[in-house]
Chain A
């Protein structure tokens, strides 16, 4: 069973590595966001060391969108009928789905190493132990987002609908979080959803790990991210089993 889990994870990791152009564009996008947009805004806002704040936040947003890419993979696989092949293999279904969620998370973490290194280069690390603890939170976010992607694509069973919904979620989940701006600067109707947004907790935990200004309790953020990961993976398993196995794809 562990062998199969590792094989599913390995397959998903290798898949993303093969999208070299996608990765290079992501890294360039991150680099330009921080060096041009982040730097320019840091001169306009009153938040102290906003460039650092922004660089850490935008790294979490990059991690989120890379983790979500597993949903596009599954959608494309389904359109090519490839899901039938995966479902016919001598792999336990739960192992298959957990493997995909973990694989989606691991690969997004690996694929964002260059932006992470760049972030560490401009911000630095004050305490390695704290940074490692914060990184666990980022990994939990990746697994949870991959689980969310699997849940969405399994529920919708449509490549087009998945594209549209993921675009909409992407717009809201990033903006209604502390990725770009602290809660103190948000109107209440922004800060309330931001408080329960896993991206907020990941961003704050990461900033705490880097030793820059952060809001909230890191332990609580870690618990929220753990709960998010468990909830999304469980939902993903349930929906994948119920919906994908039921056949049909639009």
Chain B
């Protein structure tokens, strides 16, 4: 888990492609040893930001510091700390996964038998050992993606960047890769996870930054972000015989409750921090002689958070 030290500090980072503003004066801090989810639809500026962080692209304005090293002034030092698995696998068509990864391992400082051992380990973990001698053009999309992310697991950099790591990968593979990413964080890497998959960002990220049209619109833990939506939690309580107007007014009186709807014998509350408030509400109802038949509660998703901050649905945008 993070110790609160800043691993990456982004200051006014901006990128123009001609006249098109792809990344608009981003300010952001990513903490040491956290998994930071970078959430946004395709074309929001995620990949451009990551390419600037890895010194592949030069910023038009602003800069970023990776463990204190400026991406503009110390690009060599930055690249020695950072590793990236690109959104589109970067495999030269004629090479095999084994050749690609052995060369990559050597570039990352492994030698001879050590390089062969680490490549075998990582390819085996990713269920790619059998396919190691196929040429890149013979691999399926999911297999190529596995080879791409294998590069980061071999490198074990201080800052590991995964751009859409589980796109094109089956459900079992996704869980395996999420476990490997968590393990990498536990071993000391800071992780940036760029994704437009809400569930992935939710289950994997310690904090999430939402990027939309080149701007960071919200940053926080998934829970903090969900709690910022007024009345984002929904609590449905089915009772015997309905509720009096006085009791409805009493429920509306809680600070966390934004709205109460009564439909037949079901009361629907739009509120925040439902997990803290539920015991109090139930206690209140029981105290007033109301018999509760069932309780159903739903927290907002990150898509609701995205909708709240941008007015758009992430799935539609993606």
**Chain B residues within an 8 Å CB radius of A247:** 17, 51, 56-58
Q: A18-B94, A82-B92 are in contact. Are A11 and B103 (CB under 8 A)?
A: yes
Interface of A, secondary structure class, is: helix
Q: Are A4 and B90 touching (Cβ within 8 A)? A: no
Task: Tell me the residues in window 237-284 of chain B with beta carbons closer than 8 Å to chain A beta carbons.
Answer: none
Q: A4-B107, A81-B86, A247-B17 are in contact. Are A88 and B92 (CB under 8 A)?
A: no
> Quick check: is A248 within 8 A (CB to CB) of the other chain?
yes
Give a binary string over A70-105; 1 marks a CB under 8 Å from any B CB, 0 the rest: 000000010011101101111111000000000000
Q: Are A81 and B90 touching (Cβ within 8 A)? A: yes
Once the chains are docked, how many angstroms separate the CA of A68 from the CA of B97?
27
Which of these, B58, B90, B103, contacts A84 with CB under 8 Å? B90
**Chain B residues within an 8 Å CB radius of A246:** 57-58
Task: Tell me the residues in window 13-40 of chain A with beta carbons closer than 8 Å to chain B beta carbons.
Answer: 14-15, 18-19
Once the chains are docked, how many angstroms separate the CA of A31 from the CA of B92?
31
Which of these, A18, A19, A87, A89, contacts B107 with CB under 8 Å? A89
Q: Are A90 and B57 touching (Cβ within 8 A)? A: no
Q: Are A87 and B55 touching (Cβ within 8 A)? A: yes
Task: Tell me the residues in window 67-103 of chain B with beta carbons closer than 8 Å to chain A beta carbons.
Answer: 75-76, 79-80, 82-84, 86, 88, 90-95, 99, 103
7 nearest A-B residue pairs (beta carbon): A85-B90, A90-B80, A88-B54, A87-B56, A90-B79, A247-B57, A84-B56
Q: Are A88 and B56 touching (Cβ within 8 A)? A: yes
Write the nearest CB–CB distance from B50 to chain A, whole angstroms.
Answer: 10
> Quick check: is B175 within 8 A (CB to CB) of the other chain?
no
Write the nearest CB–CB distance from A203 to chain B, whole angstroms.
Answer: 32
25 A-B contact pairs sorted by A residue (CB < 8 Å): A3-B106, A7-B103, A14-B99, A18-B95, A80-B92, A80-B93, A82-B92, A84-B56, A84-B90, A87-B54, A87-B56, A88-B55, A88-B79, A89-B79, A89-B104, A90-B76, A90-B80, A90-B107, A245-B55, A245-B56, A245-B57, A245-B58, A246-B58, A247-B56, A247-B58
Q: Are B17 and A88 touching (Cβ within 8 A)? A: no
Q: Are A90 and B90 touching (Cβ within 8 A)? A: no
**Chain B residues within an 8 Å CB radius of A90:** 76, 79-80, 107-108
